[in-house]
Amino acid sequence: MMDVSLCWRPPAWTVGEKRMRTAPTLRRLLSALTLLHVMVQVNSQKRGALRDLKCTTNNLQVWDCAWKAPLGAGHGTVNEVCIDDRLHSCYPLEKGNVKIPALPPGDHEVIVNYLHGFNGSSAKFILNEQNVSLIPNTPEILTLSADFSTSTLYLTWDDRSCAFAHHSKVTWEIKVLRTPRMELVNVVTYNTTLHGRDTVHYWRWTSDLPLQCATHYVGIRCYLDHLHFAGPKEWSAWSPLMNISWAPESEAKAFPQDKVVLVGSNITFCCVSQTKVLSGQIGKTFYPLIHLYGQNVAIHIQNISVSENSGTNVVFMIEDNVCGTVVFAGYPPDVPQKLNCETHDLKDIICNWNPGRPTGLVGPRNTNYTLLDSFSGKSVTFKRFETLTNESYQLLFQMPPHQEIYNLTLTARNPLGQSESAILVNITERVCPHTPTSLKVKDINSTVVTLSWHLPGNFARINLVCQIEIWKPNSKQELNITIKGVENSSYLVVVDKLNPYTTYTFRIRCSTEPFWKWSKWSSGKRHLTTEAIPSKGPDTWREWSSDGRNLIIYWKPLPISEANGKILSYNVSCSSHEEVQSMSEILDPQHRAELQLVKDDYIISVVAKNSAGPSPPSRIASMEIPNDDLTVEQAVGLGKKIRLTWPPDPNVTCDYVIKWCNSSRSEPCLMDWKKVPSNSTEAVIESDQFRPGVRYNFFLYGCRSQGYQLLRSIIGYIEELAPIVAPNFTVEDTSADSILVRWEDIPVEELRGFLRGYLFYFQKGERDTPKMRSLETGHSDIKVKNITDTSQKTLRIADLQGKTSYRLVLRAYTDGGLGPEKSMFVVTKENSVGLIIAILIPVAVAVIVGVVTSTLCYRKREWIKETFYPDIPNPENCKALQFQKSVCEGSNALKTLEMNPCTPNDVEVLETRSIIPKIEDTEIISPVAERPEEISEAEPENHVVVSYCPPIIEEEIANPAADDAGGASQVVYIDVQSMCQPQARPEDEQDIDPIVGAGYKPQMRLPINSAVEETAAENDADSTAGYRPQANVNTWNLVSPDSPRSTDSNSEIVSFGSPCSVNSRQFLIPPKDDDSPKSNGGAWSFTNFFQNKPND
């Protein structure tokens, strides 16, 4: 019998205690049960105690208690379990356990009777619900399936095993194992609530390893959390494992196939193969192999990058084969950007958007777009295989009738996800109409037309705002009109205030109210409005013929704005007080008519006609009132305009008429005319026919009641130009000092402006002179006379030189500039008085000089002899020669040279071999002027050496250069008298330094100074000392009196003379110089001696 000690009751628990327990309570309960079990074990050890007593329940209806038989109990012991309750019911004990109905809460004494053995003893224990464990039945897996393409396992089971526990929470635990080592790859829990029905539960799981790569096993168990059960609760047993396996094919195959993954994902690929796999690679990159089972291997890739269009290839190399797959790594669709919806016709909504970031997926994996209107529930799908980056997408949504507000949601989907963008629009405010078509124009009259066009769409509910652009030549006009939209797309408007017979171009575009966008412009439609009668008569003028018999009527063609059509003809009629004379019709384009009138007082009427009818008549009086007080005035225009002014004339009642013509035309001359109102005092005349430099005659007429009176006559130029010809002029008279010139007028056509004067130039010059000074240089030798009196036609030029050639130039000028020049050469006559004087004076001077010289020579003959012809000493008496002799005799004592007076006995004159041009008095051209370059080159050879020196002196000044020069020279000995002849050209003298100048020098004191030495050192042959005149040779320079440089001390043009000259020598022809006028070369005469003013 069980004693009390078998009874175990947790002290804190009572029978009537509410059976709601929390988890800590459950744990404490489990601890207590464990303690109870230990105590039962201990007590049962004593005598007949029950061992390993455990009571469980799986349905809360029946408790199943089991224990081990007490020690010493026989095998065939039959037991009976009795419960000490009210009924004292007993239950046979079956094989060590007993199933008893669930007992009410509280302690129950359970007596186990051993009918056999233990001598009929019994054991007791106290049983409480808290000692009973709730262990649900093992759940069963209904199905286990797999989607190999997605590596997903699908598991189904029901909750039949726990169906008894209504409203209880059940926790299911599912485990996934994988071969070959039954590796637990996933355990998940899944909570449900029991509803009393046999509910089937679903669970799916996606494997990171393709299911084809290994066999996957799945098991399930459950845990029932019954709220009203106070005992401990335990997990059920695991269900039998079910597996999913891939039936390998004979060929190796890689998995997963064609999977789409997110960029950056980690993914595992495997190869199911019967043979050994050698390598695995993605693209060109090899990865380490992970051996699964058999020959199956896998590779694992982390952070996969975006694929190219055709995907990323995963290839496993097998011994004799390859297996591979393709993975597509991309992005889920970006949120559609810039979603904009509008309609063209209120029939379809067009939504545009930008897809945003490219997904990297194309073809079947490309993004699909669905546009859904939540109000109507309608949707459309955009599907396109080929998409280009940054392309704007467009979707057409057909509008349900009578719906204006749309809540449009655009959803983008691809295998990696979806995104959406929404817009709420009132579509009547988002109308961009189509381009209007079929624009037609129809005439109503000459100024009104109707425009009709077709605008696709149903705009019956809204107003249209259309803009009509009306082009006509040189102008554009825009009309905005608002019209009510129609359903049939045809519209018509009236356009008025047009001009008759005018070509218009119409085009139109439309928008809606409120404004959203303009449509595109329709194509232009040209239209010519119909004709109307001319609005005015033609502008008319009349001219009397030169004989005064005929009246010529002129009229201008009407401008298109006044003609209102094509002018077909003109009717000209004249009327007087007595009669009306009608002329025949004059067809366009003739714009003149000539009338033969018997008297001069008529009213001429001109009417223009087009197809619509005649214009109002234009009338003009034929009479021309004479004006005796008429002056001719001048006017100059500006540009193509000329401005004419006149004083107001109260007698002018109708208007002023200004007519003009080219002055070169014969009368009657009429180019054009212009009418101005009678209150005007000025008019600006402008015409494209005006040309610069052309003289026009302007006539101002005033209109009075009787007729027109010529008020002013004006000649004018639009722009003055310079004359194009020079005036013709002739020399009427020539004297020795004056010229009389006469010229003619320039024709008006060639004058090209108002003549303002003449410019007369004259200067010395000859016809054949190659270079004449330009007139514009203002050189001093050009004389200018400005003749501003345009009526003057002659000019006398005085104070000229006789027998001199002058160049005369005459030019006319206007305000437009100087005209061309016309020149003429004239030679003045010779002055006979001067010639006589030129002969007599030199003769007289020569006689006087000769007499004076003879007298002086006679009186000073002794002095001259001592000076020029001293006695020559005997060389034998010269001590210097004795000194030389002693040297030659080899005297050892070197003696100082003793300079005894040594009188030279001869004069040596050195002269170059070159031929020096002989200067003759008759030569009129200076060689210096004509050949300066030759002189310069010949200069080293043309020097003259006049020297005399004792031999010892010659040795001191000798130098190699002088020797060289001497080699090219010939020494000529002449006597002193020969020196009187000119031996050098004038130009040589300018190089003669006063110090080194040749000439006689006394033998006693020959000045060889440092300057001479230096010059000699510079190889100047001219430095050789020689004969020098006693006087200063510089003072011998003689110049021509008429030379312009005669007073120039530095002049290159000098004459060379000697004190022996008895008559002056001069170079009468000035040197040739481009900058100076050439002297009268061949016309040189002695009269030049007497000319004080070389140019005058």
Query: Residues interacting with other proteins, by CB under 8 A?
Result: 254, 257-258, 281, 283-284, 307-315, 320-322, 324-326, 362-364, 385-386, 388
Between 315 and 465, name the residue whose CB sits nearer to other proteins.
Answer: 315
Between 416 and 683, name the residue whose CB sits nearer to other proteins.
Answer: 416
Between 386 and 920, name the residue whose CB sits nearer to other proteins.
Answer: 386
Between 320 and 776, name the residue whose CB sits nearer to other proteins.
Answer: 320
Closest approach of Cβ 522 to other proteins, in Å? 37
DSSP string, 574-610: EE-SS-EEEEEEEETT--EEEEE-SSS--EEEEEEEE
Strands (E), 886-1006: 909-912, 944-946, 969-971
Closest approach of Cβ 320 to other proteins, in Å? 7
Between 260 and 979, name the residue whose CB sits nearer to other proteins.
Answer: 260
Closest CA to 360 of 293, 434, 416, 398: 416
Between 147 and 732, name the residue whose CB sits nearer to other proteins.
Answer: 147
Q: For residue 129, how many other CB atoms are within 10 A of its CB?
A: 24
Supply 1092's token pair.
């004080």
Closest approach of Cβ 284 to other proteins, in Å? 4
Supply 16's token pair.
């009537």
Closest CA to 716 of 700, 696, 701: 696
Closest approach of Cβ 419 to other proteins, in Å? 22
Between 363 and 917, name the residue whose CB sits nearer to other proteins.
Answer: 363
Task: Tell me how far apart the alpha carbons of residues 121 and 79 are, in angstroms, rounded to a whole number.
Answer: 10
Between 311 and 433, name the residue whose CB sits nearer to other proteins.
Answer: 311
Helix, strand, coil distribution of the chain in percent, nearest 5: 15, 35, 50
Cβ 316 vs Cβ 280: under 8 Å: yes
Residue linked to tokens 């008085």: 833
Closest approach of Cβ 402 to other proteins, in Å? 41
- Ranges of H-type helices in 339-391: none
Residue linked to tokens 């997903």: 152
Closest approach of Cβ 340 to other proteins, in Å? 26
Closest approach of Cβ 255 to other proteins, in Å? 10
> Residue 915 contacts by C-beta under 8 Å, 6 or more apart in sequence?
none
Between 134 and 301, name the residue whose CB sits nearer to other proteins.
Answer: 301
Between 311 and 1071, name the residue whose CB sits nearer to other proteins.
Answer: 311
Closest approach of Cβ 386 to other proteins, in Å? 4
Q: What does the chain come to in residues?
A: 1096
Supply 242's token pair.
């079910």
What letters, b where the CB count within 10 A reaches 16 and e where it falls short, cover 105-128?
bbbbbbbbbbeebbeeebbbbbbb
Q: Is the peptide bond before 614 cis (omega within 30 degrees of 0)?
A: no
Closest approach of Cβ 288 to other proteins, in Å? 17
- φ, ψ at 1035 (rounded to 5°): -75, -5
User: Strand, helix or coil at 1045?
Assistant: coil
Cβ 397 vs Cβ 433: under 8 Å: no
Supply 994's token pair.
């006063």
Supply 381's token pair.
């799908």
Cβ 595 vs Cβ 604: under 8 Å: yes
Burial of 159 (0-12, 13-18, 19+ CB in 10 A): buried
Between 327 and 510, name the residue whose CB sits nearer to other proteins.
Answer: 327
Between 255 and 760, name the residue whose CB sits nearer to other proteins.
Answer: 255
Closest approach of Cβ 179 to other proteins, in Å? 24
Closest approach of Cβ 277 to other proteins, in Å? 14
Closest approach of Cβ 417 to other proteins, in Å? 21
Closest approach of Cβ 310 to other proteins, in Å? 4
> Residue 455 contacts by C-beta under 8 Å, 6 or more apart in sequence?
433, 434, 436, 437, 464, 489, 491, 510, 519
Closest approach of Cβ 323 to other proteins, in Å? 8
Closest CA to 352 of 396, 312, 321: 396
Q: For residue 1023, how many other CB atoms are within 10 A of its CB?
A: 26
Between 248 and 668, name the residue whose CB sits nearer to other proteins.
Answer: 248
Between 285 and 475, name the residue whose CB sits nearer to other proteins.
Answer: 285
